[in-house]
Chains A and B, each alone.
Chain A
């Protein structure tokens, strides 16, 4: 068996699972949507023998894909499938095609494909998982899917972030214990104060007042000790939790930086910002405020319970009467709360997303006078936040008073029994007073623990959202033992590269060798796969099959960061970071000497306009380039690429967003940039590729033509057509601008 593909639709487009198996000699499959011929075992699968005229074609243009098996020009079978099945179907197609290329259908033409192909065929199950991996499924909006114990699990995972600060955390816990113990002393002192001093005195005994001072002194001392201890404890735990939250933020952000480009393409900036910012903050608040409370509550409860039982077991038992109700309540609301808080966090993310979306796009908003629409969008998002919060508020606001009610009832019961016990003489008034004081504390703790449940669930929901990011694996994974290329010569071999974007295959087998120092111009209509090929060479993605080698080493085996030091990129939309012009030029080499920065700026034709800025090289440029024009920003990004002195240069539509005059300045800068470097230039305007040694024409993911400008004009194919249409457009534009002034 070479490969197996699965289809999931029948001829009437009803869901119906089936499989297609490719062997060296045959195609065997479940009942197709339509078929003729083929050998059929009774009620079982059909099979077709493969000969030289057999073809297997896959088409996926809409929601339904088609696999067609044909003999000569006659289609013998057709299967239908949804895009979910596309990766395995494409693998089947690849296996079929490479089978044809092999001399006897088994051995492959080159060792490389042989090495890759079995994995493509054998890992059908795995490749089927791929769309999910490519679009990381972690960040689901529905965070309420899991239940039960799972709701606490994210919180337990936080412990690993506390480990570096274990010393302080333990100190904090010990202080909690000490301050709790100190807080339990006062009621214990009131008991002898009442029984041994006040009541005897009231009954006419001669008790010296100095005893009162002693007890009061003890009470004051206990209060001061409790205050001092809880102060240090609060500060200690706040210190730890700030560090946990900061660690969480850094880890999350660093992890995001390690993730591949496809992670960011599917994500909304606002959502990621809110996860790193607001969710970590919620966890911080939980840890610093609520966890302390929780820990000290648990300890207080245990200690108080011990004291209560020691004082009077019967009364102690009575105080516990409301407890089962409280436990039931926690159980009942916990899951509802977590789901509610998760929903609120998602709503909050949506709201930040509106901001992150419209603020960078503010010019478009204003140009199309859509301010009020954007306000409406924000109001809608904000209302969702409000609604989500309202819903969860109803639940938790109910809990606190509910528990208060129970504790009031509990107190009442104890008062009643206590009064009866005092009447029967088995308990003293002082004993009862102390007991009630303890019970008040006890219930107070229970109440505050209940109030904690929402906070805990809020933090759990937030932690879940952060771990979703941390659990995403980069799809472009670093090899186990990466090869460090150092400074490369720049020979690039692209062999048999296919690339799928989700279900859609955008490159169908690209073979291309670029010699060191050669400039290749990639030409083709939009969507032909030019940028995808460039992205693969940059190793922003890995090919679905086939390989890209640089200096003979497969890119999948190289150290990514080390390889990227050889790369320079000039993109259509030059991105400038917030900082000075000098900082932006030196982005790839932050330690670059000033002379180097100036030299790069000169070579990029940026020096003169930089000097005209208010603070020359120290002028600040904003998120979106501040007051610089598109051409100026582009020249800064060329200077940035020049400074790193890359061996391999990728120019992705570097001049297409600027006017013709600026283009000529930029073109001169680019000419300096490409000299001596392996260059892949993508350009819509063919005139910008005049320095290219070879032009590669792509159409629908395949190389259709290759050669010099003159060669390709002589061939009179797709390139010639593109070239002529652009020349014509340019002439028309020139003619139009000539007639314009006279009009």
Chain B
């Protein structure tokens, strides 16, 4: 791969295990493993995005294999942690629903909501895609796989709560 990216645009983070992440222009991310091999265009993701959103993080190769595993971001050197936090924030598009305007009566349900990223409309295929979590939060997955989060159902207004109750 192209290893001569502009050094000025490169941000790096070193891990205690000897691997290193490099962030290049346009947000591309490379991992250089402990043996010095470069894995271009890697992806970072959370292993338990729903049940432990602060839990382990994996760095996976473009073809899917796991390259590095971080049990807890908090234990990482500051530079790498900052880099991973930023990457995860960018990769994890998870709008927070602040108010539910309308939900259609029949499945698949059409939703009109207000999120922290502005108003939005989407379709949910099945009631199973509205998943209540033990901590009182709700994750909603639309037909395209985009996820939305309601951090605390109790904090919603009564209109939104009523709409949600009829579903899950």
Which secondary structure characterizes the binding site on chain A? helix
The answer to whether A594 touches B50 (Cβ under 8 A) is: no
Chain A residues, Cβ within 8 Å of B47: 594, 598, 610-611, 616-617
Bitwise interface map of B from 15 to 35 toward A, beta carbon under 8 Å scored 1, else 0: 000000000000000000000
Chain A residues, Cβ within 8 Å of B50: 580, 615, 618
Is B95 an interface residue, CB under 8 A from the partner? Answer: no
Residue of B47, B60, B71 most packed against chain A (CB within 10 A): B47
Bitwise interface map of A from 606 to 626 toward B, beta carbon under 8 Å scored 1, else 0: 011111101111101000000
Is B164 an interface residue, CB under 8 A from the partner? Answer: no
Is B151 an interface residue, CB under 8 A from the partner? Answer: no
Residue of A595, A608, A611, A614 most packed against chain B (CB within 10 A): A611
The answer to whether A608 touches B65 (Cβ under 8 A) is: yes
Closest to B64 in A: A612
| 565-593 of chain A: CB within 8 A of chain B | 578, 580, 582
Stretch of B5-13, B51-59, B77-85 lying at the A interface: B51-59
Q: Which of A594, A614, A620 contacts B48 (CB 8 A)?
A: A594
- Taken together as a complex, chains A and B put the C-alpha atoms of A595 and B65 apart, in Å, by 19
Known: A608-B66, A609-B64, A612-B64. A618 touches B51 (CB 8 A): yes
- Taken together as a complex, chains A and B put the C-alpha atoms of A616 and B58 apart, in Å, by 10
Is B157 an interface residue, CB under 8 A from the partner? Answer: no
Closest to A616 in B: B47
Q: Which of A607, A610, A616 contacts B49 (CB 8 A)?
A: A616
The answer to whether A615 touches B60 (Cβ under 8 A) is: no
B102 to nearest A CB, angstroms?
26
Q: Which of B45, B65, B71, B131 contacts A616 (CB 8 A)?
A: B45
Interface size class on chain B is 20 to 34
Chain B residues, Cβ within 8 Å of A598: 47, 56
B54 to nearest A CB, angstroms?
11
Chain A residues, Cβ within 8 Å of B51: 580, 582, 617-618
Known: A594-B48, A616-B47, A617-B47. A611 touches B58 (CB 8 A): yes
Inter-chain contact count A-B, CB under 8 Å?
A: 47
Chain A residues, Cβ within 8 Å of B128: 578, 620
Closest to A618 in B: B50
Is B145 an interface residue, CB under 8 A from the partner? Answer: yes
B89 to nearest A CB, angstroms?
17
Known: A582-B51, A594-B55. A611 touches B145 (CB 8 A): no
The answer to whether B64 touches A616 (Cβ under 8 A) is: no
Known: A594-B56, A614-B145. A608 touches B49 (CB 8 A): no
- Taken together as a complex, chains A and B put the C-alpha atoms of A33 and B55 apart, in Å, by 77
- Taken together as a complex, chains A and B put the C-alpha atoms of A607 and B46 apart, in Å, by 13
The answer to whether B66 touches A611 (Cβ under 8 A) is: yes
- Taken together as a complex, chains A and B put the C-alpha atoms of A360 and B65 apart, in Å, by 33
Known: A582-B51, A618-B50. A611 touches B45 (CB 8 A): yes
- Taken together as a complex, chains A and B put the C-alpha atoms of A632 and B45 apart, in Å, by 20
- Taken together as a complex, chains A and B put the C-alpha atoms of A618 and B94 apart, in Å, by 15
Chain B residues, Cβ within 8 Å of A617: 47-48, 51
The answer to whether A616 touches B55 (Cβ under 8 A) is: no
The answer to whether A595 touches B66 (Cβ under 8 A) is: no
Known: A582-B48, A616-B49. A611 touches B60 (CB 8 A): yes
Chain A residues, Cβ within 8 Å of B52: 594
The answer to whether A611 touches B48 (Cβ under 8 A) is: no
Chain A residues, Cβ within 8 Å of B58: 611, 616
The answer to whether A595 touches B48 (Cβ under 8 A) is: no
The answer to whether B64 touches A611 (Cβ under 8 A) is: yes
A45 to nearest B CB, angstroms?
69
Chain A residues, Cβ within 8 Å of B64: 608-609, 611-612
The answer to whether A618 touches B45 (Cβ under 8 A) is: no
| 605-655 of chain A: CB within 8 A of chain B | 607-612, 614-618, 620
- Taken together as a complex, chains A and B put the C-alpha atoms of A620 and B133 apart, in Å, by 13
- Taken together as a complex, chains A and B put the C-alpha atoms of A617 and B55 apart, in Å, by 11
- Taken together as a complex, chains A and B put the C-alpha atoms of A711 and B50 apart, in Å, by 54
Known: A594-B55, A594-B56. A618 touches B49 (CB 8 A): yes
Chain A residues, Cβ within 8 Å of B49: 615-616, 618
The answer to whether A616 touches B48 (Cβ under 8 A) is: yes
Closest to A610 in B: B47
B94 to nearest A CB, angstroms?
11
- Taken together as a complex, chains A and B put the C-alpha atoms of A211 and B49 apart, in Å, by 77
Closest to A583 in B: B51
- Taken together as a complex, chains A and B put the C-alpha atoms of A194 and B52 apart, in Å, by 78
- Taken together as a complex, chains A and B put the C-alpha atoms of A617 and B60 apart, in Å, by 14
- Taken together as a complex, chains A and B put the C-alpha atoms of A614 and B45 apart, in Å, by 10
Chain A residues, Cβ within 8 Å of B131: 620
- Taken together as a complex, chains A and B put the C-alpha atoms of A582 and B66 apart, in Å, by 17
Bitwise interface map of B from 107 to 125 toward A, beta carbon under 8 Å scored 1, else 0: 0000000000000000000
User: Can you list 28 A-B contacts (CB < 8 A)?
Assistant: A578-B128, A582-B48, A582-B51, A594-B48, A594-B52, A594-B55, A594-B56, A595-B71, A598-B47, A598-B56, A607-B66, A608-B60, A610-B47, A611-B60, A612-B60, A614-B145, A615-B49, A615-B50, A615-B147, A616-B45, A616-B46, A616-B47, A616-B48, A616-B58, A617-B47, A617-B48, A617-B51, A618-B51
Q: Which residues of B pack against A, CB within 8 Å? A: 45-52, 55-56, 58, 60, 64-66, 71, 128, 131, 145, 147
Q: Which residues of A pack against B, CB within 8 Å? A: 578, 580, 582, 594-595, 598, 607-612, 614-618, 620
**Nearest 8 interchain pairs by C-beta:** A618-B50, A612-B64, A616-B47, A617-B48, A617-B47, A611-B58, A611-B60, A615-B49
